[in-house]
Amino acid sequence: MRSRTRIASVVALAGALFFGTAFQAHAVPVHLSAGHVDILDVDFADGALTLQVLDETGSAAVERAPGDVIFDVPPGAKRTNVPTTPAWSFLGTNGTAWVLPQSQVTGLLFAGWSTEGVPAGVLAGDKVDFNLTSVSGPGGFSVYTTSFGSPTVLFDSGDGLPDTRSVARNTHAHANWGFDAPGTYTATFTVTGVLASTGAIVTSGPQQFTFVVADA
């Protein structure tokens, strides 16, 4: 399903270029509110890295441009029991935060990332770098994992940006996506890599991802 979708996307883009029109974001973004989604879906083809959204919330997988999507964080994502210990100081205030969890929960997005579209041997080290370059919103934005109750912070807008994480090719992973307050957030990610053959840097360019966090 993933391969067929990507082929269809390439064909559609090729058709648009043939007729002299560029790819355009939809006038009305699609709201995603529950189910599986790879927010950061990385592909490499024809010498270029691309960063899209792989939407698997419906019956068929669909690749979407980040600007075509709004990720809804409903009131059910609100947590009022965030630990107030130093290890959790990156998340929330007074023990409250909104979290899309790294495990699947009914009624919430099960959000992660994928580098399964990057072929072996093309990029140096068989890896790419995820770069969070900017965040706008009413509070802090973070991406983290938990193991035995302890967090590992991957990205945190509260301690200065950019934040960079190396991710191996052929990775499919999930994490917690945290927000300190209700409101609208825009997070800008760029994916970069180095061509194994020439040492040249390739990049997806900056892509903006919008999250709407609801309190009620």
Tally the residues of the chain. Answer: 216
The answer on pLDDT for 149 being more than 90 is no
Mean pLDDT of 16-36: 62
Residue in 115, 124, 130 with CA at minimum distance from that of residue 170: 115
At residue 27, the pLDDT reads 61
At residue 64, the pLDDT reads 97
Residue in 198, 204, 191, 183 with CA at minimum distance from that of residue 165: 191
Note whether 210 and 69 are within 8 A (CB): yes
Mean pLDDT of 80-90: 93
β-sheet with 48-56: strand ranges across: 62-64, 48-56, 35-45, 109-117, 172-174
**CB neighbours of 182 closer than 8 A, spacing ≥ 6?**
98, 138, 213, 214, 215
The answer on pLDDT for 134 being more than 90 is yes
- In angstroms, how far is CA 180 from the centroid of its own chain? 18
Sign of CA dihedral 107, 139, 63, 195: negative
Sign of CA dihedral 204, 100, 2, 197: positive
Q: How confident is the model at residue 26 (pLDDT cuts 50, 70, 90)?
A: low
Note whether 167 and 127 are within 8 A (CB): yes
Quote the pTM value. 0.87
